[in-house]
């Protein structure tokens, strides 16, 4: 059964305002993402050094 609040498409009330819009710089400031990007960057750097100097 579909709930009545799912069917309500009226625009009577304004959406809740957030404190500030968060963009790409906010996402890049998160430690898990930076650790992930650092690991991927190190793997790419090691692959490039291996290709350039050891092959």
**Which tens digits make up the pLDDT trace of 8-34?**
566 666 666 667 777 777 777 889 999
| Residue 30: predicted pLDDT | 86
Q: Enter the pTM of the model.
A: 0.53
- pLDDT for position 25: 78
CA distances to 12, 18, 21, 29, 31 from 43, in Å:
52, 38, 33, 21, 18
Query: Is the separation of the CB atoms in 37 and 43 below 8 Å?
Result: no
Whole-number Å distance between alpha carbons of 48 and 25 = 28
Let me know: does 28 contact 34? Beta carbons within 8 Å.
yes
Does the structure show a pLDDT above 80 at 36?
yes
The per-residue pLDDT for 24 is 76
């Amino acid at each position: 059964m579909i709930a009545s609040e799912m069917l309500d498409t009226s625009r009577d009330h304004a959406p809740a305002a957030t404190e500030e819009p968060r963009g790409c710089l906010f996402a890049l400031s998160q430690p898990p993402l930076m650790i992930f990007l650092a690991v991927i960057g190190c793997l790419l750097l090691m692959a490039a050094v291996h290709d350039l100097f050891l092959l």
